[in-house]
Amino acid sequence: MNTTIDETENPFFSNNKKGSEIKGKFIIGITQLAVLTIITVLFIILGIIIYEGREKFSWEFISSFPTNGMTEGGIFPALIGTFILVIVMSIAAVPFGTITAIYLTEYAKENSKFAAAVRFSVRTLAVVPSIIFGLFGLGFFIQFVGGGIDKAFSGGELHWGQPNILWASLTMALLTLPVIIVSVEEALKTIPRELREASLALGATKWQTIKNIVLPGSISGIMTGTILAVSRGAGEVAPILFTGAAYYLATLPGSLSDQFMNLGYHIYIMATQSSDVEKTMPIQFATTLVLLILTLSLNLVAVIIRSRIRRRVK
Amino acid sequence: MATHFEIELDNLKNVIQKIGVLAENQVGESVKALLSEPVGEGKEVKKNEEKIDKLDVKIDVICQTIFALQQPVASDLRFIMSAMQISNEIERIGDLAISIIKRAKNIKDKHDLIVKFNIADIARMVEVIMVKTNECFLTRDESTIGEIFILNNTVQNKSDDAIHDIINEMKSHSKTVVSGTNLVIVLKHLERVSEHCTNIAEYVHFMINAKIIKHEKFDGKKSEK
Amino acid sequence: MKDLKKDIKIEVNDLSLYYGEKKALNEISMVIPKNKVTALIGPSGCGKSTFLRCINRMNDLIPDVKITGSMLVEGVDIYDKNVDVVNIRKKIGMVFQKSNPFPKSIYENVAYGPKINGIKIKTELDEIVETSLRQAAIWDEVKDRLGDSAMGLSGGQQQRLCIARTLAVSPDIILMDEPASALDPISTSKIEELVHELKEQYTIIIVTHNMQQAARTSDYTAFFYLGQLIEIGKTNTIFTKPEQKQTEDYITGRFG
């Protein structure tokens, strides 16, 4: 078709159309390459873990105790220990973190120095290396608080002043606290100001507004944030190194003052201090697989809860 | 359910109807006075005159309020514009009726003159025009507009003829000059009443068709417009 | 405006508002009559919305705000230290510019206020919900789907729902901040008609940037400019023969 429009004169036609097209395609290409790389690496890691751990991975593995100097058997106590740790940690961290986030978002005045101090502390805590939490747990919880309890109630007899699941959980709680606070804060902020105003204009108090409008509306964000924080805690090892994790226990922990086994810690010990590293390789990989599945399931639960709540609200 | 604006428009329509009926009554009384029929109390006529004046002012105020507060458009706008004008015309009709009544009292031997010059026909026709005009505003019926114009033409022609005859009579019988002159004035008043009615009909036409036909010559074809 | 003594709902005396150092409202004095619609008009930034929000103390939510002067509602200064702001807001309701229904069901939206006030019995709540929705002229449209989410309603319906929600707590005064500015003409006229019906029971104060809307719906109109009250009077008078030249200039579109 013959066109009578002079392409170089008409402003609708661009002069460097080809140039910007190539640039665009180039950028798309690079991002696609990056995504591909990430996915490939992820699959390689998963692949290795699954491949190496496949022979050991079974129901028996999950449900039985380790035997023969940790070179055979299962990881049941480590699994249970991890569960208990996660539960106690959540009970300690989630309510406290949620209340702090509510204070920061809803009650704190804009130029309040106290709120600014709280925020600063939270942000700082978030970047503290996890081993430092472990040291803090040892020095504060075990020696100071635990030792103090022992002196006061059992005349110096060592009971609480030593590593156990309670102190380990509280230490982990401190670790995940900043993450919980930040995600709850973010969730609360998604509730638009207009809804709060509407509630207040009807004669509701601030707390009634928070309880009836803000919290229900942000519950999905709160749940997601807390579950993600918790799943991070399930995998951390450094804070529990000297606050309560043990390499081998014949029995499951019976009370909060007992020590416990832990999946992450188990993998670490087996990889570095086991009597026969070669033989325990499959166990290591299988344990890793279990830990991965645990973490991924927690994330999946978070996603499902969030989408269910979203559907209900609509 | 009508909005409060629609209620206000209805209210205005009712007030115009009211003033129209009052004017119709006044015209009726004036014709009765002219044709020597028993007339009502003079007080009644005076009271009605005052009512007409008051309603005219009221209509102006209502229209101003509606313009300022409701910003009427389209047919509502034409209605309000017409309402003010129609009220004006009706008020003039009321004034003319009073004038006719006053004059009619001063005409001696009017019964003979009336019969001689067929004045009763003209007077009755004007009454009919008045009734039709009120009807026309009420029903917004276009065919009535045409009828009003046709009747007006007849009245104008007959009145011209009658005046011509009266003048001839006055030329030959000087005793009849006073009565004759008064009668001519009364006839002129009747003509004016009829013209005001056609003006009202023009405003009704404007309300319906958004076309202003003021000052156009009627040649028997207006009823088709 | 002075011969209203018995019928005054709100009396404002020298009310000034400061955002930090900036004076946003300059010694406003006026009376708002009972059971009438008073419109507040003026160009953008003239302070009419700020003034409206003073009436139910919503400006308290803004940090760094200072208010001097007094605002008496039926004789009681709502800025008195001993006054409970929560109770004020139960008596003085507000409808906002952009409708803001809660992400709950239609029923729950309207029942929110009564529930907050302690009404728990379902039959009582049902009755309040129905009455309020009827008063807001939306009952017929939603009576079969009270359990549906309020977010599924159209803009005009949402705004009427917000009005029903406000009515449910039985206020005396209803404040409306440009309630129809985000709506199409038909929804707007429904809201205007609703305002006309509601004034028999409530005192209504409505902020609008649409002068014709103020002319159509209100009994009294107050003209604000740069934080000051220029003129207040019967709407009929303001729109036919205003006293102040500024008012006339604004209304005729000569400025602002």
Nearest Cα to Cα of residue C136 among C156, C114, C119, C121: C156
Give the pLDDT band (50/70/90) at residue A311.
confident
* Surface of C (192-221) touching A: CB under 8 A: none
Nearest to A203 among C102, C103, C113 (CB): C113
Give the pLDDT band (50/70/90) at residue A145.
confident
For tokens 């499959």, the residue is A282
Question: Cα(C65)–Cα(C81) distance, rounded to whole angstroms?
Answer: 16
Q: Rounded to the nearest 10 degrees, how much is the dihedral formed by the CA atoms of A274, A277, A283, A284?
A: 80
What pLDDT digit, counting tens, does each position of C237-249 carry? Answer: 999 889 999 999 9
Handedness of CA B207, B210, B216, B217 (dihedral sign): negative
Q: In the prediction, which pLDDT does C3 show?
A: 54
Touching partners of B (3+ C-beta pairs < 8 Å): C
Handedness of CA B77, B80, B83, B84 (dihedral sign): negative
B209 touches chain C (CB under 8 A): no
Residue C189 to residue B65, Cβ atoms within 8 A: no
Which residues in chain A have Cβ-Cβ distances shorter than 8 Å to C179? none
C110 touches chain B (CB under 8 A): no
Q: Rounded to the nearest 10 degrees, how much is the dihedral formed by the CA atoms of A90, A92, A93, A96?
A: 140
Give the pLDDT band (50/70/90) at residue A53.
confident
Best mutation site among C239, C247, C251 for testing chain B: the one with the most B CBs within 10 Å?
C239
Q: Which residues contact A210 (CB under 8 A, 6 or more apart)?
A: A102, A106
C143 touches chain A (CB under 8 A): no
- Alpha-helical runs (H) found in B106-213: 110-117, 119-139, 142-172, 177-209
Question: Cα(A20)–Cα(A135) distance, rounded to whole angstroms?
Answer: 56
Handedness of CA B23, B24, B25, B28 (dihedral sign): positive
What pLDDT digit, counting tens, does each position of B183-201 carry? Answer: 899 999 999 999 999 999 9
Best mutation site among B69, B70, B71, B73 for testing chain C: the one with the most C CBs within 10 Å?
B69
The burial of C37, by beta-carbon neighbours within 10 Å (0-12 exposed, 13-18 middle, 19 or more buried), is given as buried
Regions of chain C where pLDDT drops below 70: 1-6, 256
Query: How many Cβ atoms from other residues are within 10 Å of residue B104's Cβ?
Result: 21
Nearest to C89 among A109, A200, A213 (CB): A200
Give the pLDDT band (50/70/90) at residue A1.
low
Contact A177, A125 (CB under 8 A): yes
ipTM comes to: 0.92
Give the pLDDT band (50/70/90) at residue A290.
confident
Question: Cα(C231)–Cα(C220) distance, rounded to whole angstroms?
Answer: 11
Whether pLDDT at A242 is above 60: yes
Phi, psi at residue C201, to the nearest 5°?
-105, -25
Asked if B touches A (at least 3 Cβ pairs < 8 angstroms), the answer reads no
Query: How many Cβ atoms from other residues are within 10 Å of residue B163's Cβ?
Result: 17
Nearest Cα to Cα of residue B212 among B74, B82, B64, B87: B82
Give the pLDDT band (50/70/90) at residue A292.
confident
Whether pLDDT at A6 is above 70: no
Residue C89 to residue A208, Cβ atoms within 8 A: no
Q: Rounded to the nearest 10 degrees, how much is the dihedral formed by the CA atoms of B65, B66, B67, B71?
A: 140
Question: Cα(C159)–Cα(C177) distance, rounded to whole angstroms?
Answer: 12
Query: How many Cβ atoms from other residues are within 10 Å of residue B220's Cβ?
Result: 10
Which residues in chain A have Cβ-Cβ distances shorter than 8 Å to C89? 200-203
Q: How far apart are the first and last CA of chain B?
A: 35
Best mutation site among C91, C112, C119 for testing chain A: the one with the most A CBs within 10 Å?
C112
By C-alpha distance, the chain A residue nearest C88 is A203
**Diameter of chain A measured on Cα atoms:** 103
Q: At what angle do helices A76-102 and A165-189 cross, to 10 degrees?
A: 40
Give the pLDDT band (50/70/90) at residue B225.
very low
Tell me which DSSP letter residue C232 carries. E
How near does any CA of chain A get to the CA of C248, in Å? 35
Give the pLDDT band (50/70/90) at residue A3.
low
Q: Count CB pairs under 8 A between chains B and C.
A: 23
Query: How many Cβ atoms from other residues are within 10 Å of residue A302's Cβ?
Result: 19
Annotate A115-130 with b (16+ C-beta within 10 A) or e (fewer): beebbeebeebeeeeb
By C-alpha distance, the chain A residue nearest C109 is A199
Average pLDDT, integer, range A271-277: 76
Q: What three-state secondary structure class fits C66?
A: strand
pTM of the model: 0.79
In chain A, at which residue ranges do the beta strands (DSSP E only) sit? 66-67, 72-73
Instruction: Please report, rounded to a whole number, the percentage of residues in chain A having pLDDT higher than 70.
Output: 93
Question: Cα(B210)–Cα(B73) distance, rounded to whole angstroms?
Answer: 12
What pLDDT digit, counting tens, does each position of B110-146 carry? Answer: 677 777 778 889 999 999 999 999 999 999 888 999 9
- Strands of the sheet containing C203-207, edge to edge, are C92-95, C173-177, C203-207, C37-41, C220-225, C228-234
Which residues in chain B have Cβ-Cβ distances shorter than 8 Å to C216? 5, 69-71
Asked if A touches C (at least 3 Cβ pairs < 8 angstroms), the answer reads yes
For tokens 């190194």, the residue is A241
Give the CB-side neighbour count of residue C137, counting CA atoms within 13 A: 15
Whether pLDDT at A79 is above 70: yes
| Mean per-residue pLDDT over chain A, rounded | 84
By C-alpha distance, the chain C residue nearest A107 is C61
In A71-223, at which residue ranges do the beta strands (DSSP E only) sit? 72-73
**Distances in whole angstroms, Cα of residue C82 to Cα of each of C2, C77, C85, C151:** 30, 10, 9, 38
Q: Range with the lowest mean pLDDT among A260-269, B44-53, B83-92, B163-172?
A: A260-269
* Surface of C (201-220) touching B: CB under 8 A: 212, 215-216
B73 touches chain C (CB under 8 A): no
Tell me which DSSP letter residue C59 carries. G
| Mean per-residue pLDDT over chain B, rounded | 88
Nearest Cα to Cα of residue B104 among B49, B38, B179: B179
What pLDDT digit, counting tens, does each position of A82-137 carry? Answer: 888 888 898 999 899 999 999 999 888 877 899 999 999 999 998 999 899 999 98
What pLDDT digit, counting tens, does each position of B54-92 carry? Answer: 999 999 999 999 999 998 988 899 999 999 999 999 999
Handedness of CA A108, A110, A113, A115 (dihedral sign): positive
Question: Cα(B156)–Cα(A72) distance, rounded to whole angstroms?
Answer: 129
**Distances in whole angstroms, Cα of residue A297 to Cα of each of A184, A289, A305, C167:** 21, 12, 12, 48
What pLDDT digit, counting tens, does each position of B2-54 carry? Answer: 688 889 999 999 999 999 999 999 999 999 888 877 666 678 888 999 999 99
* Surface of B (1-30) touching C: CB under 8 A: 3-5
Give the pLDDT band (50/70/90) at residue B223.
very low
What pLDDT digit, counting tens, does each position of C37-94 carry? Answer: 999 999 988 999 999 999 999 999 888 899 999 999 988 999 998 999 999 999 999 9
